[in-house]
Structure 1
Amino acid sequence: MVRLVIFAFLVLALGYGFSWLADRPGDLSLIWEGQLYQTRLIVAASALIALIAVVMILWRLLRMIWMSPYSITRYFRARKRDRGYQALSTGLIAAGAGNALMARKMAARSRGLIRADQEPLIALLEAQAALIEGRHDEARAKFEAMTNDPETRELGLRGLYLEAKRLGANEAARQYAEKAADNAPYLPWAAQATLEYRSQAGRWDDALRLLEQQKAGRVVEKAQAERLRAVLLTARATEKLENDPAGARDDATHALKLAADFEPAAIIAAKALFREDKLRKAASILEQAWKSAPHPDIGRTYVRARSGDSAADRLKRAERLEGMRPNNVESLLLVAQAALDTQDFAKARAKAEAAARVEPRESAFLLLADIEEAETGDQGRIRHWLAQALKAPRDPAWVADGFVSDKWLPLSPVTGRLDAFVWKAPFDHVEKAADESTTISIDSALRTLPPVREARSESPANDHRIIELERAATIAEAARPSPKPPAPTKRAAEAAISPEPRPFFGGLPDDPGVRNPAAEPEPKTRLRLF
């Protein structure tokens, strides 16, 4: 477009010039070697312009002839390079598709058409072909050669890192990742792997420093960086809790500012404040966290804030939390447990049944079984509630990569992933399958609850465990073939003649002991199994 405008401008300029000369006629005289040459001005200008054009054309032709060998060489070189890049592109596509034979063939062709020192993708194609064919030693050699070139250093380090992970060489993988992160902290894979490795080693300060570099380089988003920083600060506060409560308090409080709904940070901050005898501030932190999201660990920490409190004091604190979040299953279970500790069975039973109505789950029915055992001791009713607990959905727990933990951990023990634990119910499919049945489970459980039977402590027949043991012993004894009685020895005959000695306290023991099959015949037992 620019050339077209320039050409049009030149044509207009020439036309304007010729028209200007035509409007102003004149003669041009030239005396050269005694001869007079005279012509019109317009003719002389036209001849001059034609002469300039001829000179330019002759110069262009002479330059083209002079540069023709180089132009021909450049043409064939460009054609060869284009063929090489076409082969390289075909090889990379074949490597991505898993065609090792085509990738190897195209790698050899591209190496013959393009200089390998000018195109590092050839080494990458050869390494990929070696990986597809299972020649991992050759691939590692290619990746190591890439690390010597500043242009391909990051690519080589990533290849070596993946190979080390494949072989299970975690220490070598950590070194490759840290080297890549030091040279290029903007690499997401290197930064994430290094962050996890430093966290696994407990190097929380180095992990926090690396996270700041990632945030400055915009490797991670601001919200994600703040969440990870809160996790790292909470993990460091957990380690400081025993020896440095003040440091644990500062780290946990900072973590709460970054993630206000992070329950582990609130619990660690409260425990650190409890160690510093700052009960009111710790209680305020736990109350705010409880209002945000009731969590059983928060409730237990709040109720047992002071070790010297009585059961009645713990019940009052639990009822205070219930007032903040009424009709919540965690609040109801917390009050029920505190009421059970105070032997207030009516309140404990009412709160546990209310919790089971709000959300029927395992802990509610187990708590009802504990209440039944403490109040009545009726084994039938206890077994009834235990059976309901087996059928109920599981309680929420800290879950990460299929691993269920009773406490929060900063890293997954399965994959080492940072901030992997989530508070949820394990085995979601069981909860989904039980949704319809659990809506009426507490009502049906109360309707089928057996009546309270009078327990007689002097009779062992009331203990279901003894009944089960006696039944199993009877079955085993009936199934065992009766052995032939051994011949009586001389000592046994003398013992049979001599009178049985009586104990000094005047009577037989309450436990008759094990029956002697040789002394009395075993009665015939007929057992109906069905």
Structure 2
Amino acid sequence: MFRILVFLFVIGVVALGLGILIEQPGSLSLTWFGYHVDTSPLVGLGVVSLGAILLWSLIRFVLNLPSLVSLTARARKRARGHEALARGIVAAGVGDARKARKASLDAKRLLPHEPLTLLLEAQAAQLGGDRAGAERAFQAMTERPETKLLGLRGLHAESLRQGDHDRAHQLALEAQNIAPLGWSGQALLDRYTAQNDWEAARICVSQNLRAKIIEPDAANRQKAVLDTAQAMECEMMEPDRAIKLLRAAVKKAPDLVPATALLARLLSRRGDFRAASKLIEAAYAKAPHPDLARAYVDMRQGDSSTDRLARARALAKFAPNDPESAMMIASAALGARDFARAREAMAPLVASGERPTARMCLIMAELEEREHNAQGLVREWLSRGSRAPRDAVWVADGHWSKQWAPVSPLTGKLDAYRWMQPKEALPGPVEEPPPAYEPPALEVEPAPAPQVLPPAESPPATVVEQQPSEKTIEDAAPEPAEEPAKTPARKSFSAQPVIFPLPTPPDDPGPKKQEAETRLF
């Protein structure tokens, strides 16, 4: 606002001055080189001012001519340097180490103070396998304020490549203190979670959230996993603190099944069965999970098998069409020896045209063994289960586990486990289920009448001990028989002990050696 007022004041003063000059009477005469000019003072003043401006511009151009020539040369050099940078970055991107190295040298000669020159030098050194050169380039970047974070990230990557995790952690911590970034925040979080330092990891998540590195939903999920990890450590010694942490975790991430299952178990130990049941029922309706089913069925330690079956049927009502509900009812029915209900629950899962999983096949094998002791069907179901698709498990970085963990055992990454079904390399065809068990027939057929055999006849001599000549074989060719050959009589053999020959002679040669020694004496 003040500048606008000053501008308007200057315009007013100039207009007032021009008005005064126009109203003043008089004339201006100029005689120069035989020319005579008569004009008003205002026009003469304007001509003089324009001439002075032109003259001063000419003098300035002459005085600044060396600087202009030098500036042009520097501009051309800078343009060549930028062209070398462009060629080097493209060469580094396609993996041409030789061209990248040559362009890096040209850029370093033409643009020694350009930050991108150091970056190109580091990339060219990395492509050429010169780790020491790359580290020198990144170290030079850290000495400049505008490229310090870039240098710290490069040194962090080189430290991880060399296996120096302590130095990498210090570099990430230094970068995080300067300005929280995505790579530094994730590196610190992975470091803290790998060391089970849950409090430091929580502070790191809060810093990343304030710096808007991660979204609020992702931050709440990570905090819920950290709360669950702390609760798992103190559930035996400090159950009240574990319950408080798990309540906060379930509130932040309602779909975190391990937190819900652990909270339900702790509540049931304290005797709050109603709250535990409602908690599992709400979670099971959204995501049926075997951990939730197990925690619900085993909530009361003193329940009978019939009570456990009743609880399983009650929980299955919240997800009646899910296979997990059917397997939960079948397992509880097997414990209660209610085989009809177990078979009824498993019938849709193993029907013709369906492809049951390995767990379903194991349940069917146990059902056949307990109900009928049909070992043939048991072996058939077990054989089918060995080729059946795998059931869903916790998978993190290619590692399978039946138990959930807050971090990956391979990389230390937080919340890496996902409940999923492992992919099959070669899925097999759909197999038909084994036939239902049929009890053996109890009717006994009458014994056949004894068959009277004809008297034994001497068989024809067909075995020749010596090899006959070709002529004898041709002459003795048998003629086709007109009558069918009679069945030879069975030979009766007496029961004699079977003696198996030894593969090697015994170590004790026997009585012969003893007789030989006696003769010597």
Tell me the TM-score range normalised by the shorter chain: 0.7 to 0.9
Corresponding residue to 1:340 among 320, 334, 345: 334
Kindly report which structure 2 residues correspond to 1:256-275, keeping only aligned pairs within 5 A, or say none.
256-275=250-269
Q: What secondary structure, in the 3-state scheme, does the structure 2 residue paired with 1:151 have? A: helix
Match of 2:82 in 1: 85
TM-score scaled by structure 1? Answer: 0.74
Q: Find the aligned partners of 1:480 and 1:103 in 2 and give their Cα distance.
A: 80
Q: 1:378 aligns to what? A: 374
Structure 2 SS opposite 1:404: strand
Task: State which of 161, 168, 171 in structure 2 corresponds to 1:173.
Answer: 168
Q: Which residue of 1 aligns with 2:483?
A: none
1:219 aligns with 213
Question: What is the distance in 2 between the residues matched to 1:132 and 1:241?
Answer: 51
Name whichever of 44-53 and 187-196 sits farther off.
Answer: 44-53
Letter in 2 for 1:385: W
SS of the residue corresponding to residue 271 of structure 2 reads: coil
Residues 1:54 and 2:58 aligned together: no
1:432-472 residue CA offsets vs partner (Å, 9 max, x unmatched): x35x615xx33xx235x565699xxxxxxxxxxxxxxxxxx
CA contact (8 A) 1:400 1:422 kept: yes
Q: Is contact 1:104-1:129 (8 Å) kept?
A: yes
> In structure 1, what residue type is equivalent to 2:220?
E
Give the total of aligned pairs.
435
Aligned pairs for 1:242-257 within 5 A: 242-257=236-251
Q: Deviations 1:259-288 (Å, cap 9, x if unpaired)? A: 222211111211222233222211211111
- On the 8 A contact 1:325/1:331 being kept in 2, the answer is yes
CA deviations on 1:210-268 (whole Å, 9 max, x unpaired) are: 11221222111222222222222222222222222122212222121222222111112
Shift in Å, 1:74:
2.4
Candidates 503, 509, 516, aligned match of 1:482: 503
Whole-angstrom CA distance in 1 between matches of 2:384 and 2:440:
18
1:342-421 aligned within 5 A: 342-357=336-351, 360-421=356-417
1:228 to 222, 228, 233: 222
Q: Deviations over 1:336-382 (max 9, x none)?
A: 11121122223223323344347621112211211222233332221
Aligned positions of 1:416-495 closer than 5 A: 416-430=412-426, 433-434=427-428, 437=430, 441-442=432-433, 445-446=434-435, 451=439, 482-484=503-505, 486-488=508-510
The answer to whether 1:64 aligns with 2:61 is: yes
Aligned in 2, Cα 1:323/1:98: closer, same or farther, shift over 3 Å?
A: closer
Question: What is the SS of the residue equivalent to 1:121?
Answer: helix
Once the 2 structures are TM-superposed, how far is the Cα of residue 58 of structure 1 from its aligned partner? 1.2
Does 1:156 pair with 2:155?
A: no
Q: Which moved more, 1:231-240 or 1:171-180?
A: 171-180
Cα offset for 1:131? 0.8
Q: 1:330 to 1:177 in 2, by over 3 A?
A: same
Q: TM-score, normalising length from structure 2?
A: 0.75
Cα contact 2:243–2:263 (8 A) shared by 1: yes
Change (3 A) 1:242 1:144: farther
Describe the SS at the equivalent of 1:356: coil
Q: Within 2, Cα distance between the matches of 1:168 and 1:286?
A: 44
Quick check: 1:182 aligned with 2:177?
Answer: yes
Matched, 1:297 2:295: no
Structure-2 change in CA distance of 1:478 and 1:199 (3 Å): farther
For the residue of structure 2 that corresponds to 1:423, the secondary structure is strand
Instruction: Describe the SS at the equivalent of 2:362.
Output: helix
Deviation string 1:138-177 (CA, Å, 9 cap, x unpaired) is 2112222322333222111211222222223333333322
The structure that is helix-richer by fraction is 1
Q: Which has the larger radius of gyration?
A: 2
Partner SS for 1:437: coil
Compared with structure 1, are the counterparts of its residues 191 and 157 closer, same or farther at alpha carbon in structure 2 (3 Å cutoff)? same
- Paired letter, 1:120: P
Displacement of 1:321 after TM fit?
1.0
Alpha-carbon RMSD across the aligned residues, in angstroms, is: 3.3
Letter in 2 for 1:53: L
Alignment match of 1:113 (pick from 110, 120, 126) = 110
* CA–CA separation in structure 2 for the residues paired with 1:479 and 1:166: 67
2:28 and 2:44 in contact (8 A); partners too: no
Is the CA contact 2:141–2:148 (under 8 Å) kept in the aligned structure 1? Answer: yes
Structure 1 residue runs without a partner (length 5+): 1-9, 31-37, 455-476, 493-530
Partner Cα separation in structure 2 for residue 478 and residue 203 of structure 1: 73
Name the aligned partner's letter for residue 437 of structure 1: V
Alignment of 1:194-213 (within 5 A): 194-213=188-207
CA distance in 1, matches of 2:400, 2:441: 39
Percent identical across equivalent pairs? 36
Q: Given that residues 27 and 40 in structure 2 are in contact (C-alpha distance below 8 angstroms), is that contact kept between their aligned partners in structure 1? A: no
User: Shift in Å at residue 304 of structure 1?
Assistant: 0.8
Question: Aligned with 2:300: secondary structure?
Answer: coil
Distance 1:393 1:480 in 2: 50
Amino acid at match of 1:47: G
Give the drift of 1:202: 0.8
CA contact (8 A) 1:245 1:275 kept: no
2:303 aligned with 1:306:
no
* Residue in 2 that maps onto 1:322: 316
Higher relative contact order (CA 8 A, sep 6+): 2
Contact 1:381 1:450 in 2 (8 A): no
Gaps of 5+ in 2: 1-10, 30-35, 443-497, 515-521
Q: Distance in 2 between matches of 1:483 and 1:330?
A: 61
The one-letter code matched in structure 1 to 2:435 is: L
Is 1:144 paired with 2:165? Answer: no
Are the equivalent residues in 1 in contact too, given 2:355–2:430 (CA < 8 A)? no
Alignment partners' CA distance in 1, 2:315 and 2:198: 34
Structure 2 vs 1, CA of residues 223 and 79 (structure 1 numbering), >3 Å: closer, same or farther? Answer: same
2:271 matched to 1:277?
A: yes
Q: Is the 8 A contact 1:214 1:220 kept in 2?
A: yes
Tell me, in whole angstroms, the C-alpha distance in 1 between the residues paired with 2:501 and 2:413. Answer: 56
Distance in 1 (CA, whole Å) between partners of 2:152 and 2:89 is 20
Which residue of 2 is the match for residue 462 of structure 1? none
CA contact (8 A) 1:378 1:453 kept: no
Checking the alignment, whether the CA contact within 8 Å between 1:130 and 1:139 is kept in structure 2 is yes
Asked whether the 8 Å contact 2:28–2:40 carries over to 1, the reply is: no
* Counterparts of 1:200 and 1:478, CA distance in 2: 68
